[in-house]
Structure 1
Amino acid sequence: MKKKIFWILAGICFAGAGMGYYYYDQLFSPVLFKELKQKELKLKTGSTFEDVLYQLKQNNQLARENGFKWLSQKMGYNDKSVKPGRYILTPGMSNIELVRLLRSGNQTPVKIVIYEGRTPDDIIRKADDHLETDMATLLDTLYSESFLASIQHTRDNAMNIFIPNTYEVYWNISARNFLIKMKQEADKFWTKNNRIYKAKLKGLSTDEVYTMASIVEKETNNKAEKPIIAGVYLNRLKKGMRLQADPTVVFAKKAFSIQRVKLADLEFNSPYNTYLNDGLPPGPISIASIESIDAVLDAADHDYVYFCAKPGAVGQHNFAATLAAHNANARKFHDWMNEQKIK
């Protein structure tokens, strides 16, 4: 009788140990492969549990499908609790770690880099590569009347919401919320370093500063010359002279491959052509760098109202206070361009 009881108890112990090992194995053994070529898991908005399972298998990440399904069911990870987003998976991650991560929605943000000198289309094309939303939706939202009205912008100055920098956002952020974040970051930018106050001292709004900075951006990448060029444009505005900025003609014609602006180009009819129109164009012609914006705000104080590219010196210019001096500089540059056979 005692032996029978012993074996019964022993059987119970062994069964309990086996069951304990089973549960431990299901919870803590690696459910992902120890070597992952793809560590990202992107779950689209509206994903179901089957979509999660499919994506894990499609990415060749899931080593133990049955274990993942079993624990997901036990922990209530199902269609109702699937949270979209971009998750970074750790090679060899345990079953319980994976389910907890996905159930928590603790996704890893993506980094969006806004570069200067680009158009909104370029910016959004770049963002499209890193976000769930697509380029068409982003552009439609950016230029929609309702969105522009909500941020008190127009189609012409919508570009102003982009300040070159690196931003972190969630992969599944909506198009509208992404653009709102850009606007909020731009607002923060202007409140720093007395930028709004400096703009007022120049007699400009922040939108006008950005527009002028976008022209400076396209005139040169020479940091030392940017405040000088900005000073030229400010002087011309004060004197009631047209800006006559070649980059505005290039933008107006959308002929971004032009190396040499010709006389015929200057007659192109557009509100952005500063050879034909007084004052600043309706909006920026490019994404302005912080360097160019600050160059306008801290523009050099001088008497120059003309400048011309310096022959053979990329990004450098000859400046002049009189038309005669400018014409002499222009002749030298045009002669050099002819010698180089630049058309």
Structure 2
Amino acid sequence: MSKFVFKLLGISAIGLGLVGGWFAFELFSFQRNAMNVTAEKIFVVEPGSSLSGIARRLHNAGVIEQPRYLSLVGRWRGHAQRLQAGEYRLEPGMTPLQLLDRMVAGEVVQYALTVVEGWTFKEMLQAVAAHEKLSHTLEGLDSAQIMHRLGVAGEHPEGRFLPETYHFAAGLSDVEFLKRAYQAMRALLQREWPLRAAGLPYASPYEALIMASIIEKETAVPAERAEIAGVFVRRLEKGMRLQTDPTVIYGLGEDFDGNIRRRDLRHDTPYNTYTRHGLPPTPIALPGADAVYAALHPAPGESLYFVAKGDGSHHFSATLEEHINAVRQYQLRRQP
């Protein structure tokens, strides 16, 4: 072979090496340089999407300039078959490599829904039904049918779901959301029931849950929860009726117009603790963790009565005479 041929082959090898080096540098730069994202946006990866299809969509959206590069980088890193479906947040400064890593890890956009302390089961269902990122499958079902769908047929739903903020990916079903809230309350009771104060007049964790729901509706002042729990526990121990307005209101249901009257207190329902002794048959709302704790750890003392002072707090009394005077001071004087 002539010297000319050797020289030509050498030049070709150098050229190929230069091209290969340039291409490797291009890929390296592509995966680590920021994509064309000037404002936060959501990119949806549908189930069954291929890496090349994702790359084309990102290119068509103006996010990347070289879709082939993204496919090559993804395959080289072993990501092609590991990308997970869902919504992904594209942010200014994000690189293609960061996006691929996010898709492999399934770090999808998280949405939130807060179940509020003191809501009823009906109010929680309305909030769930209104959330556009949940998948809705329960429309038209009554409470019994919903509890059957949750796998707890026969249970009354009120109070069974823990109020807190839940995060989830788009498309989570309303059934799965409710299961999470249900399991959270169940776990809370299982954890706190064995730690309860001694001698409480509850036959089961469910009775403690009923008490917690009453405490939740009686006060918005955190410091009062244990004291109110103490009043109700002492009344139960003495065989006194609880005489708490929120249970009456719950028993009235749709008939309650916003004002509780004497005739309402005399109107007997299973939830009227003015006409019936003991706890109502079910919770009357969704109690938060603090209300559950208060029900299981009531404050000691002698108070048997309390009356709202008009500022959200209550006056506590140990005797009926003191209570009557407090009613005159805080309630009757405010009436027109």
**Into which bin does the TM-score normalised by the smaller protein fall?**
0.7 to 0.9
Which residue is 2:327 aligned to? Answer: 330
> 1:277-318, CA deviations, whole angstroms, 9 ceiling, x for partnerless residues?
4432232222212222222212123343322212x4432224
TM-score normalised over the length of structure 1: 0.73
Going from structure 1 to structure 2, the CA distance change for 1:104 and 1:291 (only over 3 Å counts) comes to closer
Which letter maps to 1:332? Q
1:83 aligns with 2:80: no
Deviation, structure 1 residue 232: 1.9
Which residue is 1:22 aligned to? Answer: 23
Which residue is 2:185 aligned to? Answer: 186
Going from structure 1 to structure 2, the CA distance change for 1:294 and 1:74 (only over 3 Å counts) comes to closer
Deviation, structure 1 residue 122: 4.6
Task: Map residues 129-148 of structure 1 onto 2, 5 A cutoff.
Answer: 132-134=133-135, 137=138, 144-148=146-150
Deviation, structure 1 residue 230: 1.3
Which residue is 1:292 aligned to? Answer: 291
The 2-side partners of 1:52 and 1:268 are apart by 64
Gaps (5+ residues) in structure 2? none
Task: Map residues 25-174 of structure 1 onto 2, 5 A cutoff.
Answer: 25-26=26-27, 28-30=29-31, 33=35, 35-38=37-40, 40-43=42-45, 46=47, 48-49=49-50, 62-64=63-65, 66-67=67-68, 70-71=71-72, 74=75, 83-89=84-90, 91-107=92-108, 113-123=114-124, 132-134=133-135, 137=138, 144-148=146-150, 150-151=151-152, 154-157=155-158, 159-162=159-162, 164-166=163-165, 169=168, 171=170, 173-174=172-173
Which residue is 2:272 aligned to? Answer: 273
The 2-side partners of 1:171 and 1:187 are apart by 25
The 2-side partners of 1:229 and 1:118 are apart by 19
Which residue is 1:201 aligned to? Answer: 199
Asked if the contact 1:308/1:333 (under 8 Å) is kept, the reply is yes
Deviates more, 1:239-248 or 1:265-274: 265-274
Which letter maps to 2:323? H
* CA RMSD of superposed structures (Å): 4.2
Which residue is 1:306 aligned to? Answer: 305
Deviation, structure 1 residue 217: 1.5
The 2-side partners of 1:289 and 1:23 are apart by 57
The 1-side partners of 2:256 and 2:4 are apart by 95
Going from structure 1 to structure 2, the CA distance change for 1:102 and 1:201 (only over 3 Å counts) comes to same
Gaps (5+ residues) in structure 1? none
Which letter maps to 2:196? K
> 1:127-179, CA deviations, whole angstroms, 9 ceiling, x for partnerless residues?
6788843355499698524345x34761344x3231x4455555555444443
Deviation, structure 1 residue 32: 5.8
Asked if the contact 1:222/1:316 (under 8 Å) is kept, the reply is no
Going from structure 1 to structure 2, the CA distance change for 1:276 and 1:62 (only over 3 Å counts) comes to farther
